[in-house]
Amino acid sequence: MSSPSAFAIDQLPAVGPATICMGIFDGVHRGHLALVRATVSAAVERGALSLALVFDPHPDEVVRPGTIVPRLAPTTDNLRRLELAGVDRALPVRFDGELRALTAEEFLAALPPSIDLRALVMTPESAFGRNRGGTPDAMRAHGRAIGFDVVLVEPLVDEHGPISSARVRAALAAGEIDTATALLGHPPTLVAQSTVDPEGWLRFAYAPALPPPGRYRATMGEAAREAVLEIGPGGEVRLEGAPQWDSGQELALELRSRL
């Protein structure tokens, strides 16, 4: 289910001339930041705004109904991190059956008049649109016809390959908090909605990617207050000595190490 704030592709707010990167951006890891930097640079060169289009929900949940993809962060947090990283705007785009059915060319044709595309920033292996027809080569040819550039960015790699959200999830699932932190460039973060339970059981507005059951050292909030999280065998999360905060208020909990 998409967030209430996600836009249909033909109902995006007015942005004007823009360079665009697009994707899921789950967790906003170091590889994503390389794409963001290239998008910002391309915008400066063209006198345009830099824009990240963030698909919500995860496309796998639409392509395979009933699938729940554990997320490294809620969409709101990903949008916030993208704008902190430097894009002028990060916009959630509703991924549904209608969007999935669009060809890459139809997808781009739906952007005006809200967005005047000046450059599309992609990695060499990326593709979008129906049957993944929007490859860099196809978009170069289309860009020459309608007036936008394609900027290619090599994926960020380490000794184990490209940095990806899937690798971060795998590291978390294995309990490798340090590895997940290195891939992300920041600690793995759980964003809880509230706790009204006197024992500190937390609620989430998304399905969080979690490490194995156990007790974990965490820091919470902007003050980085020390905390201990207990993760149960069924994915339950409890904040030991839970503070009281307003129901519905979000609290960011950064995982630091296993106890």
- Please give the radius of gyration of the chain, using alpha carbons only, rounded to the nearest integer: 19
Q: What is the DSSP letter of 203?
A: B
**Structure confidence at residue 17 (pLDDT):** 98
Is 80 exceeded by the pLDDT of residue 244?
A: no
Least confident range from 3-12, 95-104, 111-120: namely 3-12
**Structure confidence at residue 46 (pLDDT):** 98
Identify whether residues 91 and 212 lie together within a single domain: no
Pairs from 182-186 (Cβ < 8 Å, separation ≥ 24): 183/29, 183/30, 183/158, 184/27, 184/28, 184/29, 184/30, 184/72, 185/29, 185/30, 185/33, 186/254
Least confident range from 47-51, 84-88, 208-212, 235-239: namely 235-239
**Structure confidence at residue 122 (pLDDT):** 98
- Tell whether the torsion through CA atoms of 102, 103, 105 and 108 is positive or negative: positive
Is 70 exceeded by the pLDDT of residue 136?
A: yes
Backbone angles phi, psi at 58, to 5 degrees: -60, 130
**Structure confidence at residue 3 (pLDDT):** 61
Confidence band, pLDDT 50/70/90 cuts, at residue 168: very high
Identify whether residues 144 and 202 lie together within a single domain: no
Task: Choose the final residue of a domain: 155, 176, 200.
Answer: 155
**Structure confidence at residue 243 (pLDDT):** 60
Identify whether residues 117 and 212 lie together within a single domain: no
Is 60 exceeded by the pLDDT of residue 96?
A: yes
Is 70 exceeded by the pLDDT of residue 156?
A: yes
d(CA 211, CA 244): 25
Give the domain CATH number at 203: 2.40.30.30
d(CA 155, CA 198): 46
Tally of domains within the chain: 2
Identify whether residues 235 and 108 lie together within a single domain: no
Q: Tell me which residue range forms the domain holding 202.
A: 187-258
In degrees, rounded to 5, the angle at the alpha carbon of residue 163 between the alpha carbons of residues 159 and 165 is: 145
**Structure confidence at residue 219 (pLDDT):** 94
User: Residue 171: inside a domain, yes or no?
Assistant: no
Tell me the three state secondary structure of residue 11.
helix
User: Residue 179: inside a domain, yes or no?
Assistant: no
Q: Using omega within 30 degrees of 0 as the cis cutoff, is the peptide bond preceding 74 cis?
A: no
196-225 pLDDT, tens digit each: 567 788 889 899 999 999 999 999 877 788
Is 60 exceeded by the pLDDT of residue 247?
A: no
Average per-residue pLDDT in the chain? 93
User: Residue 172: inside a domain, yes or no?
Assistant: no
Is the separation of the CB atoms in 178 and 45 below 8 Å?
Answer: no
User: Residue 90: inside a domain, yes or no?
Assistant: yes
Number of Cβ within 10 Å of residue 130's Cβ equals 15
Confidence band, pLDDT 50/70/90 cuts, at residue 2: low
**Structure confidence at residue 95 (pLDDT):** 96
Give the contacts of 109 (CB within 8 A, at least 6 positions apart): none
Confidence band, pLDDT 50/70/90 cuts, at residue 245: low
- Taking each helix axis as running N to C, give the angle between helix 75-85 and helix 30-46, from 0 to 180 degrees, rounded to the nearest 10: 50
**Structure confidence at residue 197 (pLDDT):** 67
Confidence band, pLDDT 50/70/90 cuts, at residue 159: very high
Is 90 exceeded by the pLDDT of residue 98?
A: yes
Give the domain CATH number at 86: 3.40.50.620
